[in-house]
Amino acid sequence: MHIEAPVNAIRAIKRRSYLQLPILSLALLGIACGGGSYSQPPPQPPPSPPPGPTPVQSMQGSWEIYFHSDVSPNDYIVLEANLSQAGTRVFAGATSALLYQGQSATPSSSLVGLNRFGGKCDSDGKDEVIFDGTLTNQQPTTESVAFTLTENGAVGSSVINASATTNGLNIPAGTYSMPAACGFPEDHGTFQGYQDSLKFSGADSYHGTFNSGTDGILVRFASDPSGFGLTATGTDNGTPFVLSGSTVGFSLTLTGTISGDAVAWFGLYDTTYNTFKFYNTDAKFLGSLK
């Protein structure tokens, strides 16, 4: 007996067959692309770069460094310098460094009085001083500095070899040695130093007396934009004057005329007490300003 299936039933069977093919294709495509349990883990972030080198502490700026002899305890050699820095090298040339010899530093002040200009090998105050140093053992807050201080004077040359630890702003304690030179025996001892900004706005007035009290001085100091050039405007017993010059470390040199007379002042500045000691070109003490 032959029975024909209803036409609608046959169409339904064909429709389901056509639907199964795309569903199967999508399932296979998902497996091929890593879908389901076969998915790949997300990409990992790149590793962090290694830490960079420890930053170098900067010694660049105005410095005063004073060497205290163990051989002659009353003697000091004082360096005034405008130090420059390039990487780990610290240096100062002839126009940015000077030496003088002093005595009797007071415990409450780092200012050493001037005894004579120049170092051991100087005879006329025109010696050439060269500072050449290297920074090593760099730490976050301290590092080591070793330097040579060469003096070329009228009667020969001398070299100070020194080393210390610094934070870039001060040297609390260092040691030095100096071979025999220019008729002086070998010397060695300790040294200290510190850095500060030596710039004057022109707003503060300093006063005192020069020449055993005969000259009443009132003066204002103004630094140029570089910080090394200097102008002094003031009065001497009421007579106005203007002097010009420059600073090296914590020292300053001023020249000009007062009441028609040529003057040349060499000053030492005490950053702790904001005072000056002034001398003439023969290292004779003129007076103090505060």
Q: Note the pLDDT tens digit of each residue in 66-110.
A: 999 999 888 889 999 999 999 999 999 888 999 999 875 554 455
Q: How far apart are the first and last CA of the chain?
A: 135
Write down the pLDDT at residue 33.
46
Write down the pLDDT at residue 39.
56
What value does the mean pLDDT of the chain take? 83
- Whether the pLDDT of residue 16 is over 50: the answer is no
Write down all domains in the chain, each with its CATH number in brackets: 61-195 (2.40.128), 201-289 (2.40.128)
pLDDT over 90 percentage in the chain: 61
Write down the pLDDT at residue 88.
94
| Residue scoring higher pLDDT (4 or 57) | 57
> What is the spatial distance between Cα 52 and Cα 37, in angstroms, rounded to a whole number?
42
**Taking a C-beta distance cutoff of 8 angstroms, is the pair 265, 243 a contact?**
yes
Rounded to an integer, the average pLDDT of 34-53 is 57
> What is the spatial distance between Cα 13 and Cα 15, in angstroms, rounded to a whole number?
6
Cβ count within 10 A of residue 43: 6
Q: Tell me: the pLDDT tens digits for 137-146?
A: 988 889 999 9
- Whether the pLDDT of residue 14 is over 70: the answer is no
Q: How far is CA 215 from the centre of its chain?
A: 38
| Residue scoring higher pLDDT (137 or 31) | 137
Own/partner pairs, 264-268, CB within 8 angstroms, 24+ separation: 266/114, 266/117, 268/111, 268/112, 268/113, 268/114
Question: What letter does residue 181 receive in the DSSP assignment?
Answer: B
